[in-house]
Amino acid sequence: MPVAADGTVILDTLPTPVLGTFWPYLAGAKGSLRAVTAGRRKVPVERTALSLRELAEANPGAQVVIREGNESYPATIVGFLERSAAEVAATSAAEVDEPAPQKSNLLLLKTAEGTKAVAMERITDLKFLGEYRTKLTQEEYRNRLTMHLEFDDGRPAMASAWSICKKESAGSPTIAWNWGSMAGPPSSCRPRC
């Protein structure tokens, strides 16, 4: 995993400890692990669009030909109506721990006659007239571990040696996740067969 310029390493998919603990550490004498924070964070995730809706969502501003039943017409995709996570949190009667945006099924399309709101279920075909994207970025909550590293020379290496060790209770196997150029986990975390 690369180390950011500020000396942080982010583990994006955090395994869930069942009966054990994580021990993050920095191997070698190049620096030290100064702090570790873990928690749920909202992160952008890019995925391939797999439906007409996702293709439309990934391409605001694209010139298209829309087919609704037997009718076809040229349009420019404006986007879907959506309540942001901040709006959902601000307008909810109860406190929401992790508000998610609420997406409508209404697609706004700019046509020669004006802007039209169309229920996505009515659209049977979408033809792109120019450039288009097949990737869609959406936000989701993930458990993340951020390690704050401090290096003796003040600069992080691209592949610094760091690791996380998960040790289960006595008699259970030990699992180590290793990244970078390191000799291996500390002796207390060496896997047992």
Q: Can you name the CATH fold of 50-133?
A: SH3 type barrels. (2.30.30)
Closest CA to 104 of 136, 80, 123, 88: 80
Report the pLDDT value the prediction gives residue 36, as an integer from 0 to 100: 82
Enter the tokens of residue 168: 């289960």
Q: Which of 2-11, 14-23, 80-89 has the lowest mean pLDDT?
A: 14-23
Angle CA 80–86–91, to nearest 5: 95
Distances (CA, A) of 104 to 23, 62, 97, 101, 158: 43, 19, 22, 10, 42
Closest CA to 165 of 59, 47, 26, 12: 26
Per-residue pLDDT reduced to its tens digit, 118-170: 999 999 999 999 999 999 988 777 888 788 877 777 665 543 444 455 544 45
Angle CA 18–22–28, to nearest 5: 155
Dist. CA 7–CA 28, nearest whole Å: 16
What is the rounded radius of gyration, in angstroms, for the C-alpha atoms of the chain? 24
Domain coordinates in residue numbering, the chain:
8-43+141-189, 50-133
Residue 179 has pLDDT above 60, yes or no: no
Report the pLDDT value the prediction gives residue 49, as an integer from 0 to 100: 92
Task: Please report which confidence band the pLDDT of residue 28 belongs to, taking 50, 70 and 90 as the band edges.
Answer: low
Enter the tokens of residue 147: 């390690």
Place of tokens 């691209």: 158
